[in-house]
Each structure stands twice: as structure tokens, then as C-alpha cells.
């Protein structure tokens, strides 16, 4: 239970915000930031803990979004059921892409390339297929009732996305302490050595990919409920592949809070830039690119990692005495 | 000999035009320490890779505990009880010593607390008890070899394949680690070790196989193999056996 | 259903487009062969070069084919600086970090272009831009014929550099055996930067060849480069003949596929080939085994 205390505190602090802040602009900003944090936590499971860098996570965001949108718009299915279906569909697509890629033994750059290609294929197909609304996209009918997963008050949307993020944080925490998580991290560090120790690397990577896809798909479903519109550029565009990757890398890949920290920081930078120079397209992503390079250069373990390093250094300076020389010389 | 634990039957492995392992056969009963020696490039690590599932043989069979396990993947063989170390040590560099060994311990123990206990016990067994929280990449060569051994021991193997575990160690480090290996035999764990450090082979191994140019050219006790002229020739070249004999005579 | 003449025309057009794909792929495969990284910034660099060619024409009145002689060295220097001062230091020698850094560069460059030029496409109108030559059985556009010829000259020039100059030999040494080259006294960081510069220069020349018939916009390079990735994977990572032959093949395949199935599905077809090659034979036609 002790391990979950930081999550409880973080969620509690965030939960208080709508009671204190009444500006719709700020709430909207936070809702979007939390949605990106959710998508990023999905990426984090596969990329941060698993070490498999996907450059096409849009494939899962978009699948979640389209499945729930199509079910609601074309088949009149309830929005909450659509939500569940979207998550499941995202996981299925993750399993398919992962199964194909990992079966073929694709690693590192090749894996990144193939995920990029799959996302692009989906985007092009969605941009011409009638069921996804082709070039026009899909509009979900306005129906401001809780049973349609739409709310009059922005604060309610905020609480829903906060709850989803909280679940994602708990998933990461459980992962770290579980045997599956230990195996996943081992595969990341050295796949052959892990296999020699009995880890079924293929099965572990595949499960991680399905879980990762499910979490990111949830973010896609939420997008549809919040904005009530989806098209191929939004669903499967490179913007979400990049943001889902960027936030955990900047915040700290392979940590519980990395994606959340990264999303809040990155989105704040973007908004800050817009305040200074006006709403010019491209500026926020430009900054994201520059920040990504800077983080890799100066703080490769991300903000959470850098903070942990600093904490460790200060602790060593002020707490433990220097170890005896003999100890240091022994292997 | 009772039913052997491991039986390698006429295994060959081809890489394009190169026949790295040529109809090699060997077997070992449980709880015995066996050495696999031979000049560099003989194919010893390739044979290990076949036995541990990292490579499929081009021909031949591998039997373990009576069952045909030819071509099974490494993780399945590890579950059966075949574990291996790597010639070039492969620690999980970013993790602590404890977390490294934990990976192995989790094979047989799902619960984290049980696996952590096993990890600590194994660490103490190989002499890494003081370094459990150190990052693996800060260990010396000797420490990393011990870590590699600890990780594999944590999987509770019945057969351990050690690939040049003594390479890169100085004589006092070798002296320290030999009893650890000998104790494995006493614990009922079979060991096959690829080794170049002859004094260790002589003192540890109960049985020796010699591999040269992909073929098994001799087998027997360490003393028998050391005296075999075919073996001397394999290491020192054609005609060397006669030279060695004549040098002794003088 | 289709007359053989139309088919031949489609194939010839495919070859000419393919030549430019080959040039872009050449830069990519050169970088991969030496640095062993997939340069995700390649597309953004192409977009930047397209804008540069456009601006050279608009502001300086410079014909794109002449601009190539200015832009190639300029982009060579840019690429050199990028590798030497940004990518190299940031990646700390780790594959995964290099992936992320080149991705970061791609995002940065592409959006810097978006910020500076907005999303509208810009085109260049040349006097002879629409001219074509009558070969009797078909008409072929002049700019595209020039591209085809130019690519082979560039490939030849690169080959001469690799074989005759000291730098070229050093590049080949580093590609083959980095540690050995380092021990022999070669400044690997410098060679990496030279290679990246050469790859970027290829992109700049390709942009100049493209701008008469194509367009400049922040995302233009990406569309081209995904095809270039396919070429490199098909031809084999690090293989120069692979890039050339692969480029021509993909150009023809795309031309025929677009003809029969329409443009969007033609694009999807390329990606499916890409995915299939990655799964079935990742080393492509001429590449070394992984």
C-alpha cells in the first residue's frame, strides 16, 4: 500500500483543481494535457518499460477514436459501450501489429519504421473509406447526458479523464512490482540474456504492446467524447504519435509519473509560447522538437530521472559517510 | 551410466559454407562437472548455443532428461532446467545486482517477496551479498562473472552451461570462484564448462570432451585427455605430439 | 485494355520519378551504411531544401538547376553541422537515443518551416517547365528528363568521391569497421559528419530537381521520404546499387499502381510493400544480413 501513496497524493491534488479554478480556459487546457498524459502513459508501457520505441502510436489512438465514433454515429450504440469497444479494438490492433513485427524479429529502428508505416496506412485508408467519413470525418451528435458520456460541465470531463489517468498510474505501479514488469524490463535491457533466464520475450513484448495500445486507445475514445469530432488527420496523424512519445521521454521513460509530468510540462510550454507569440501554427511542435533534443542531450532519463539523480546525489552528500577505501577496491 | 541428463547426438551446425559443428556427440549424467575444451574457433560456443536453444542444429538431436528438446527456444529450455552463461557477460546494466538476479529468481517464483529472498540468498552464495544495491555496470569483471552465475543459479537449473566463466579473472579470483562451481556438483546441478584455464579444468572436471574444428576428437578423464596425442596435436599443431614426447624423453 | 504505348509511357514516367526517389534514398542509405542510424530527419531536410530552391528562384531568380550548385554545398555544410554539433553529442552513442534525436530534428525543422511559411504550397513556374519532347511514341517532360540524367551524374560523382578521395576511403573504412578505422587514426566524428553532409547534399540536389514539377510545403518532404524508406529497405540498408535499382523499381511500381488503382491506393500499396519487405526479408535485395 505504501507504494501507492505518491499516486494518491498526486491524484488528490489534481482533483482539488476544479474546486479552486473556475476558468474554462484553464480547465480545458488541463483536460487536454491529461488526455495526452494518458496516451503517453500507454506509450510508456511499451517504450519506457519495454524499450520498444513505437513511432506510430496514432494507430491505437485513432482506432479507439474511430471505433467508438462509428459505433455511436452509424449504429446508435451507447457511448460507454463504444468506449469499451474502442479500448478493446485498440488492444487488438496492438496485438496484430506487435505480433507481426515481433514475429519477424524487428527491433529498434526497424520496429520504429514499421509502426510508422502501419499508422500511415491506417491514416490513408481512413481518409478515403466511407465508414470513417472519408475526407469529411465523423461528427458525434450532441447529447449532454451522462449516459451518453457527454457532460454539460467541463469539470465532469476533467474528473473522468483524471480517473482514467489515475488508473493508468496504478497500472504502471503494479507493473513495476509484478513479475511481468520485471520480465518486461529485462527484455528491454537485454533480450537474449532475458531469454536465457526463462523469459518468453515474444509473449512479454506482445502483451506489453496490447496493454500499451489499450491505454492509448482509451485516450482516443475520450477525445471523441470531448470534441465530438474525428477525422483521419486527427485520429491517425503524426501529431499524436509524436506527443504520445514525447511526453514520457521528456518526463521520464519507464517511470510511473513520467508521462504525467511530461504532458503537463510540454503542454505548458506550448501554451506559454502561444501566449508570447500568438496562435501561430507550428510553434508549439517546434518547441517540442527542440525540447526533445535538449532532453536527450542533457537529461536522457527525463525530468523524473534527472530529479531522482539529483536527489540521490544530495542524499549521498549529506547522509552516508564515505565508504572505506578497502571496500571500494574490492570487486 | 544411468540415463544421461543431457545427450547431444551427432549435432551439426552449418553457417553457409562453414560447418562450425560437425556431428558432435556428448552426454553427461546428472550432477557431474564436465569440461568442453578445444582450441579457439573449434565451435564450442556454437555447440552451447545449440544446446541452450539459441541456434537450431542443421542436423542431430539434443535430448534432455530423456526427452527430445531439439530446436526448443531458450526460454522453454530454461524452464526445463537448462541454463547458460554468456562468453561476453551480459548484465542488465541499468539495474542493480539484486534486480538482475531477481529476473532469474522469478522463473520459479511468481511472488515478488519470495523471488527477492531467493535473489538475496543466491547473491550471498556467490559472494555478492555486500553489493546487492549497486548498479550492475559498476561491477568489475570478476563481479560481473559472479553476477552472471548468480542470475542463472536463481533459475534453479539442473544443468548449467558455463561459457568461459573464468576468462579475464586473475589467479586469486579463480581460486575464489572454483569452490563455488565445485559446490554446484554437490548440490545436484550438472555443469558443462567451456574453459581454457587448464588448471581449473584439471581440478574441477570429472569428465572432459575435446572439440577441434567442429568434431569431438577425444573424451575421458582429465588425465586421459591430457595425455592423448591427438589432443596435443589439435592444440599445438601437427607433429607436436612427437616433439613433446621426445622433449620428455630428453 | 491499355495500349502498350500508354503502358510504356507509364513505365518511363515511373523510371524518371524513380530516379529522384533513388537520389533521396541514396542519401538515406549512405547515412545508414556509415552511421548505422535511420535518419528520421531526412524528410524534413527535403522539405527545407524544397523551400530553399523555391526561395532561390523567387528572390534571386536562380534557375533550380543552377541553384543546385549553390544549395548542395550549403546543405552539405548544414548536414555536417547537424551531425557534428547536435545529433552526435546528443545521442551518447545509443541507437535508441539517435532515433529520438533525429525524430526531434524532424519535428523541429518541419514545424519551423510551418511557422515561417504557413501550410500553403509554393510552386515554381519555369519557362520550360511544361515543355516536353516528342519521342514519337510518347511525350516526356523536359524537367523530368533532366532529373533522370542528373541523378546518374550525381551517383557517378559520389562513386568517384568514394573511390578516389581520401575522405571517401575513410568513409568506406568507417562503414566497414569503425573501431579499426578509429585505431588507424581516422577522426570518426568528422567522418560521420562528412557522411551526413553528403546525404543532406543529395537531398538538396533532389529538391532542386523536383521543384519544377513538384511543390514546396512543410510536409512535402515527408511524403517523398516514406517512399525513400521503402526504397532503402527494398534495396538493402547501406547498399548504393540497391538504392538506385530499388528507386527505379519503386518508381515504376508506383506509376503502374496509380494508373490502375488511383493515387491513394497506390500510396497504400507502397507502404504494404514496405511492411512486407520488413517482415519477410529485412535486408532487402542487396543488403548485408543483420
Q: B45 with B143, same domain?
A: no
Q: B129 with B116, same domain?
A: yes
Q: B164 with B53, same domain?
A: yes
Q: Is C236 left (phi over 0), alpha (psi -120 to 50) or beta?
A: left
Return the H-helix or E-strand segment holding B67: strand B67-68
Q: Higher pLDDT residue, C241 or A191? A: A191
CB nearest to B112's CB, from A177, A183, A201: A177
Domain that holds residue B133: 88-156
Contacts of A288 in chain C (CB under 8 A): 107
Is residue A326 domain-resident? Answer: no
Instruction: Judge residue A321's burial from the number of C-beta atoms within 10 Å of its C-beta, 0-12 exposed, 13-18 middle, 19 or more buried.
Output: exposed
Q: What percent of chain A has pLDDT over 70?
A: 95
**Which alpha helices (DSSP H) does B52-166 contain, by range?**
74-80, 97-105, 112-126, 141-153
Query: What is the residue-wise DSSP string for A281-322?
Result: TTHHHHHHHHHHHHHHHH-TTHHHHHHHHHHHHHHHHHTSPP
Q: Smallest Cα–Cα separation from C128: which of C228, C11, C213?
A: C213
For the segment C129-143, what is each residue's pLDDT rounded down to a tens digit?
Answer: 667 777 766 777 777
Contact between chains at B104 and A193 (C-beta distance less than 8 A): no
Q: Smallest Cα–Cα separation from B32: which of B125, B136, B158, B145?
A: B158
Dmax over CA atoms of chain A, in Å, equals: 74
Q: What is the pLDDT of residue B48?
A: 92
Is residue A331 domain-resident? Answer: no
- pTM here is 0.88
Distances (CA, A) of A87 to A181, A210, A213, B73, C276: 21, 10, 8, 33, 27
pLDDT band, very low/low/confident/very high, at B123 (cuts 50, 70, 90): very high
Is residue A202 domain-resident? Answer: yes
Angle among Cα A116, C78, A289 to the nearest 5 degrees reads 40
The count of structural domains within chain A is 1
Contact between chains at B91 and A193 (C-beta distance less than 8 A): yes
Is residue B100 domain-resident? Answer: yes
Contact between chains at A127 and C282 (C-beta distance less than 8 A): no
Please determine, for residue C174, whether its predicted confidence score (pLDDT) is greater than 90. Answer: no
Query: Which of A286, A287, A299, A305 to probe the C interface (max C CBs under 10 A)?
Result: A286
Nearest-by-CA chain A residue for C90 = A297
Is residue C270 domain-resident? Answer: yes
CB nearest to A198's CB, from B107, B115, B140: B107
Chain C contact for A121 (CB, 8 A cutoff): yes
For residue B223, the SS3 value is helix
For the segment A250-259, what is each residue's pLDDT rounded down to a tens digit?
Answer: 999 999 999 9
**Which alpha helices (DSSP H) does A104-200 contain, by range?**
108-128, 154-177, 179-189, 191-196
Query: Which of A49, A99, A113, A132 to probe the C interface (max C CBs under 10 A)?
Result: A113
Return the H-helix or E-strand segment holding B27: strand B18-28
Report yes or no: A255 and A28 within 8 Å, Cβ to Cβ. Answer: no
Kindly provide the b/e burial profile for residues C209-241, where b requires at least 16 CB atoms within 10 angstroms of the residue's own CB: bbbbbbebbbbbbbebbbbbbbbbbbbbbbbbe
Query: Which of C35, C82, C108 to probe the A interface (max A CBs under 10 A)?
Result: C108
Report yes or no: C5 and C188 within 8 Å, Cβ to Cβ. Answer: no
> Pairing state of beta strands A229-230 and B190-194?
unpaired
Is residue C130 domain-resident? Answer: yes
For residue B180, what is its C-alpha cell?
Answer: 563455488
First to last CA, chain A: 36
Is residue C288 domain-resident? Answer: no
Q: What is the pLDDT of residue A321?
A: 55
Is residue C290 domain-resident? Answer: no
Look over chain B and give the mean of its residue pLDDT values, rounded to a whole number: 89
Please tell me the distance in Å from C115's CA to the nearest CA on chain A: 5
Look over chain C and give the mean of its residue pLDDT values, rounded to a whole number: 85
Q: What percent of chain C has pLDDT over 70?
A: 95
Is residue B75 domain-resident? Answer: yes
For residue B135, the SS3 value is strand
Distance of CA A192 to the CA centre of its chain: 27
CB nearest to B86's CB, from A183, A193, A331: A193
Q: Smallest Cα–Cα separation from C204: which of C44, C13, C53, C37?
A: C53
Please determine, for residue A323, whether its predicted confidence score (pLDDT) is greater than 60. Answer: no
Kindly provide the b/e burial profile for residues C102-119, where b requires at least 16 CB atoms within 10 angstroms of the residue's own CB: bbbbbbbbbbbbbbebee
CATH of the domain at A235: 1.10.3470
Kindly provide the b/e burial profile for residues C138-150, where b requires at least 16 CB atoms within 10 angstroms of the residue's own CB: bebbbbbbbbbeb
Chains that touch C (3 or more CB pairs under 8 A): A
Return the bridge partners of B28, or none. Answer: B6
Is residue B250 domain-resident? Answer: no
CB nearest to A197's CB, from B73, B107, B173: B107
Q: B52 with B149, same domain?
A: no
The count of structural domains within chain C is 1
Q: What is the pLDDT of residue C127?
A: 64
Cα(A278)–Cα(C255) distance, rounded to whole angstroms? Answer: 43
Contact between chains at C264 and A121 (C-beta distance less than 8 A): no
Report yes or no: C155 and C243 within 8 Å, Cβ to Cβ. Answer: no
Query: Cell 475514445 sits at which residue?
Result: A221
Half-sphere exposure for B173 (CA within 13 Å, toward CB): 16
Q: What is the pLDDT of residue C290?
A: 43
For the segment A120-143, what is each residue's pLDDT rounded down to a tens digit?
Answer: 999 989 998 888 888 888 888 888
Please tell me the distance in Å from A331's CA to the nearest CA on chain B: 5
Q: B152 with B166, same domain?
A: no
Domain that holds residue C205: 4-118+126-280
Contact between chains at A286 and C229 (C-beta distance less than 8 A): no
Is residue A314 domain-resident? Answer: yes
Q: B72 with B196, same domain?
A: yes
Is residue C69 domain-resident? Answer: yes
User: Which one-letter DSSP state was computed for residue B58?
Assistant: S
Q: What is the pLDDT of residue A2?
A: 67
Is residue B59 domain-resident? Answer: yes
Q: Which of A317-321, C156-160, C181-185, C242-246 shows the lowest mean pLDDT across its residues?
A: A317-321
ipTM above 0.95, yes or no: no
CATH of the domain at C143: 1.10.3470
Q: Which of A276-290, B187-201, C49-63 shows the lowest mean pLDDT across its residues?
A: A276-290
The count of structural domains within chain B is 2
For the segment B24-67, what is each residue's pLDDT rounded down to a tens digit?
Answer: 999 998 889 999 998 888 889 999 999 999 999 999 999 999 89
pLDDT band, very low/low/confident/very high, at C239 (cuts 50, 70, 90): confident
Half-sphere exposure for C63 (CA within 13 Å, toward CB): 7
Q: What is the pLDDT of residue C25?
A: 92
Is residue C287 domain-resident? Answer: no
Is residue C33 domain-resident? Answer: yes
Cα(B112)–Cα(B222) distance, rounded to whole angstroms? Answer: 43
For residue C197, what is its C-alpha cell?
Answer: 553532409
Contacts of A296 in chain C (CB under 8 A): 90-91, 97, 100-101, 104
Q: Higher pLDDT residue, A285 or C85? A: C85
Q: What is the pLDDT of residue B17?
A: 85
Report yes or no: A94 and A213 within 8 Å, Cβ to Cβ. Answer: yes
Is residue A313 domain-resident? Answer: yes
Q: Which of A21-35, A186-200, B216-230 shows the lowest mean pLDDT across its residues?
A: B216-230
Q: Is B209 left (phi over 0), alpha (psi -120 to 50) or beta?
A: beta
Is residue C289 domain-resident? Answer: no
Contact between chains at C108 and A112 (C-beta distance less than 8 A): no
For residue A37, the SS3 value is helix
Contact between chains at A189 and B86 (C-beta distance less than 8 A): no
Q: What is the pLDDT of residue A331?
A: 42
Chain C contact for A249 (CB, 8 A cutoff): yes
Return the bridge partners of B37, or none. Answer: B210
Q: Find residues 180-219 of chain A whose CB sits inside 8 Å of chain B.
A: 182-183, 185-186, 189-190, 192-201
Amino acid at each position: 500500500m505504501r507504494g501507492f501513496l505518491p499516486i494518491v497524493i498526486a491524484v488528490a491534488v489534481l482533483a482539488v483543481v476544479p474546486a479552486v479554478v473556475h476558468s474554462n480556459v484553464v480547465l480545458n487546457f488541463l483536460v487536454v494535457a491529461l488526455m495526452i498524459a494518458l496516451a503517453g502513459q500507454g506509450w510508456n508501457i511499451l517504450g519506457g518499460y519495454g524499450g520498444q520505441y513505437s513511432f506510430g502510436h496514432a494507430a491505437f489512438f485513432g482506432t479507439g477514436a474511430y471505433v467508438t465514433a462509428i459505433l455511436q454515429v452509424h449504429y446508435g450504440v451507447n457511448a460507454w459501450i463504444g468506449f469499451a469497444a474502442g479500448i478493446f479494438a485498440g488492444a487488438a490492433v496492438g496485438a496484430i501489429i506487435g505480433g507481426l513485427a515481433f514475429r519477424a524479429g524487428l527491433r529498434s529502428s526497424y520496429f520504429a519504421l514499421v509502426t510508422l508505416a502501419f499508422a500511415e496506412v491506417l491514416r490513408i485508408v481512413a481518409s478515403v473509406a466511407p465508414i470513417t467519413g472519408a475526407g469529411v470525418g465523423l461528427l458525434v451528435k450532441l447529447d449532454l447526458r451522462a449516459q451518453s458520456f457527454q457532460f454539460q460541465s467541463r469539470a465532469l470531463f476533467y474528473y473522468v479523464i483524471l480517473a482514467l489517468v489515475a488508473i493508468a498510474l496504478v497500472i504502471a505501479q503494479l507493473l513495476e512490482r509484478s513479475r511481468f514488469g520485471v520480465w518486461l524490463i529485462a527484455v528491454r535491457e537485454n533480450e537474449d540474456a532475458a531469454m536465457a533466464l526463462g523469459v518468453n520475450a515474444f509473449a512479454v513484448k506482445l502483451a506489453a504492446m496490447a496493454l500499451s495500445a489499450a491505454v492509448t486507445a482509451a485516450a482516443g475514445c475520450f477525445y471523441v467524447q470531448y470534441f465530438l469530432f474525428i477525422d483521419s488527420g486527427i485520429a491517425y496523424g503524426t501529431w499524436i504519435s509524436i506527443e504520445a512519445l514525447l511526453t514520457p521521454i521528456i518526463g521520464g521513460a519507464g517511470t510511473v509519473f513520467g508521462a504525467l509530468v511530461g504532458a503537463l510540462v510540454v503542454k505548458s510550454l506550448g501554451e506559454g509560447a502561444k501566449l508570447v507569440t500568438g496562435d501561430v501554427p507550428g510553434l508549439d511542435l517546434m518547441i517540442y522538437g527542440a525540447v526533445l533534443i535538449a532532453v536527450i542531450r542533457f537529461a536522457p532519463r527525463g525530468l523524473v530521472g534527472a530529479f531522482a539523480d539529483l536527489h540521490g546525489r544530495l542524499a549521498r552528500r549529506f547522509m552516508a559517510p564515505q565508504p572505506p577505501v578497502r571496500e571500494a577496491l574490492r570487486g | 551410466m544411468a540415463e544421461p541428463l543431457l545427450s547431444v547426438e551427432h549435432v551439426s551446425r552449418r553457417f553457409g559454407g562453414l560447418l562450425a559443428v560437425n556431428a558432435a556427440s556428448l552426454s553427461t549424467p546428472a550432477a557431474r562437472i564436465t569440461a568442453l575444451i578445444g582450441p579457439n574457433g573449434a565451435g564450442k560456443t556454437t555447440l552451447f548455443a545449440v544446446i541452450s536453444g539459441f541456434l537450431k542444429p542443421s542436423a542431430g538431436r539434443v535430448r534432455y532428461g530423456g526427452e527430445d528438446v531439439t530446436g526448443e527456444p531458450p526460454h522453454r529450455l530454461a524452464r526445463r532446467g537448462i541454463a547458460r552463461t554468456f562468453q561476453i557477460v551480459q548484465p542488465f546494466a541499468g539495474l542493480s545486482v539484486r534486480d538482475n538476479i531477481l529476473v532469474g529468481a522469478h522463473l520459479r517464483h511468481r511472488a515478488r517477496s519470495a523471488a527477492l529472498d531467493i535473489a538475496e540468498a543466491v547473491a550471498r552464495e556467490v559472494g555478492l551479498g555486500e553489493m546487492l544495491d549497486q548498479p550492475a555496470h559498476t561491477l568489475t569483471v570478476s563481479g560481473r562473472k559472479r553476477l552472471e552465475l548468480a542470475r542463472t543459479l536463481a533459475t534453479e537449473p539442473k544443468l548449467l552451461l558455463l561459457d568461459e566463466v573464468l576468462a579475464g579473472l586473475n589467479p586469486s579470483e579463480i581460486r575464489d570462484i572454483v569452490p563455488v562451481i565445485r559446490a554446484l556438483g554437490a548440490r545436484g546441478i550438472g555443469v558443462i564448462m567451456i574453459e581454457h584455464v587448464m588448471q581449473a579444468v584439471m581440478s574441477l572436471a570429472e569428465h572432459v570432451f575435446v572439440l577441434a574444428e567442429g568434431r569431438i576428437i577425444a573424451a575421458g578423464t582429465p588425465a586421459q585427455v591430457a595425455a592423448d596425442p591427438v589432443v596435443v596435436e589439435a592444440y599445438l599443431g601437427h607433429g607436436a605430439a612427437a616433439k613433446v614426447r621426445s622433449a620428455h624423453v630428453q | 485494355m491499355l495500349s502498350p504505348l500508354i503502358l510504356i509511357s507509364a513505365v518511363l514516367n515511373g523510371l524518371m520519378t524513380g530516379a529522384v526517389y533513388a537520389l533521396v534514398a541514396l542519401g538515406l542509405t549512405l547515412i545508414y551504411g556509415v552511421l548505422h542510424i535511420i535518419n528520421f530527419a531526412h524528410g524534413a531536410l527535403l522539405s527545407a531544401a524544397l523551400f530553399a530552391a523555391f526561395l532561390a528562384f523567387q528572390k534571386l531568380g536562380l534557375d533550380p538547376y543552377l541553384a543546385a550548385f549553390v544549395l548542395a554545398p550549403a546543405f552539405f555544410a548544414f548536414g555536417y553541422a547537424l551531425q557534428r554539433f547536435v545529433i552526435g553529442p546528443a545521442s551518447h552513442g545509443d541507437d535508441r537515443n539517435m532515433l529520438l534525436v533525429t525524430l526531434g530534428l524532424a519535428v523541429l525543422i518541419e514545424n519551423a518551416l510551418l511557422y515561417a511559411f504557413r501550410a500553403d504550397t509554393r510552386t515554381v513556374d519555369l519557362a520550360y517547365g511544361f515543355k516536353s519532347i516528342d519521342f514519337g511514341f510518347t511525350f516526356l517532360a523536359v524537367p523530368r528528363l533532366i532529373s533522370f540524367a542528373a541523378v546518374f551524374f550525381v551517383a557517378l560523382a559520389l562513386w568517384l568521391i568514394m573511390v578516389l578521395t581520401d575522405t571517401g576511403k575513410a568513409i568506406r573504412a568507417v562503414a566497414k569497421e569503425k573501431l579499426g578505422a578509429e585505431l588507424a587514426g581516422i577522426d570518426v566524428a568528422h567522418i560521420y559528419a562528412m557522411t551526413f553532409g553528403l546525404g543532406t547534399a543529395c537531398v538538396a540536389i533532389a529538391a532542386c530537381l523536383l521543384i519544377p514539377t513538384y511543390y514546396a510545403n512543410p510536409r512535402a518532404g515527408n511524403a517523398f521520404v516514406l517512399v525513400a524508406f521503402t526504397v532503402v529497405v527494398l534495396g538493402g540498408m547501406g547498399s548504393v546499387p540497391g538504392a538506385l535499382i530499388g528507386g527505379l523499381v519503386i518508381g515504376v511500381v508506383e506509376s503502374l499502381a496509380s494508373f490502375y488503382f488511383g493515387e491513394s491506393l497506390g500510396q497504400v500499396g507502397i507502404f504494404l510493400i514496405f511492411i512486407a519487405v520488413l517482415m519477410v526479408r529485412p535486408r532487402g535485395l542487396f543488403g548485408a544480413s543483420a
